[in-house]
Amino acid sequence: MDYKSGVIEVADGVYAWINENCATNAGFIVGDDGVILIDTLMTPTLASKLLTVVKDVTSKPIKFVVNTHFHGDHVYGNQYFLPAPILGHENCRIELDTKWDANLSRYWARETLRPELERINKTLPDVTFKDQMSIWLGDREIRMSYHGRAHSDSDILLYLPNEKVLFVGDLAVNKTIPAFPDGHISKWVDVLSKVEAVEADTFVPGHGPVGGKEEFREAKDLLKLLNDEIRAAFDDGKSEEQAAKDVNVGKFSVFANQDRIPQVVEMAYKAYRGELD
Ligand SMILES: [Zn+2]
């Protein structure tokens, strides 16, 4: 899928770094005396590229690093931005710590990544919060909030109320079927329905291009459609395999990563059976 990638200034001093092919995005916000970095990507190579991208825009130091959730493709680069404090939801610290091996083994399956993954040291958020916390860069507020389990148990929103920009991590992805290794589909739909009310004109997803209100709504509609379709299959007593074949994503069939549907079904069935927290 072709879309605008690279560094995109979405508001004055507010940057999205958008990867191609729906790979992992990051972002950064430049204030009067420092920078907030949003996610650190997966490998040493990507983390150093990200650092170069920031340095090309500003010579100001990185004051804070924020982790949008615990998945390795968003946070394995943490160690390269020390000694900046790393902020995240309290569950991000817990999930990154306790699910370290399972998380790493997902990426380990890709053999070419192994030399990079071997260099990663566990680097957890060292400043955590429960419901909401704000960072101030001069007069600019960056409001971080948590709304419950969704894509993982540690997804946060970063909201810039003055600029009406939302960084959402993988809570909402754009133009792709979401990854579901830790997703709880019905809770996720609830969270997105709740946060849809946030007044934002621009949203920076964890994967895919920068979007606006409409694309944010699309992310929710897709998830709701998946939940409705899979729930009906579950209630009809269909096998997971059959359900995955029968799911009809309609207009979203042009989205990337359609091969994730079986994983969505598997996790949705677990959620319906009450096997997820
Ligand atoms: Zn994720």
- Domains of the chain are 6-272 (3.60.15.10)
Phi and psi based region of residue 138 (left: phi greater than 0; alpha: psi -120 to 50; beta: remaining):
left
Report CA dihedral (125, 127, 132, 134) to the nearest 10 degrees.
-110
151 CA distance to ligand 1 centroid (A)?
Answer: 7
Q: Which residues pair with 256 in a beta bridge?
A: 176
Low-confidence ranges of the chain (pLDDT < 50): none
207 CA distance to ligand 1 centroid (A)?
Answer: 9
236 CA distance to ligand 1 centroid (A)?
Answer: 30
The one-character DSSP state at 40 is: -
69 CA distance to ligand 1 centroid (A)?
Answer: 7
138 CA distance to ligand 1 centroid (A)?
Answer: 30
The C-alpha atoms of residue 95 and residue 263 are separated, in whole angstroms, by 20
- Taken in order 98, 66, 219, 132, the sign of the CA dihedral is positive
Cβ(107)–Cβ(147) under 8 Å? Answer: no
* Residue (of 262, 257, 226) closest to 242 by Cα position: 262
Predicted local confidence at residue 1, as pLDDT: 77
61 CA distance to ligand 1 centroid (A)?
Answer: 27
179 CA distance to ligand 1 centroid (A)?
Answer: 7
Predicted local confidence at residue 179, as pLDDT: 95
Give whole-number Cα distances, 216 to 122, 142, 157, 172, in Å: 32, 19, 13, 7
Cα R_g (the chain), whole angstroms: 18
Predicted local confidence at residue 165, as pLDDT: 98
Q: What angle do CA 5, 10, 15 make, to 5 degrees?
A: 70
Predicted local confidence at residue 277, as pLDDT: 75
91 CA distance to ligand 1 centroid (A)?
Answer: 14
Predicted local confidence at residue 145, as pLDDT: 98
Cβ(276)–Cβ(151) under 8 Å? Answer: no
* Residue (of 125, 91, 126, 119) closest to 104 by Cα position: 119
The C-alpha atoms of residue 200 and residue 39 are separated, in whole angstroms, by 20
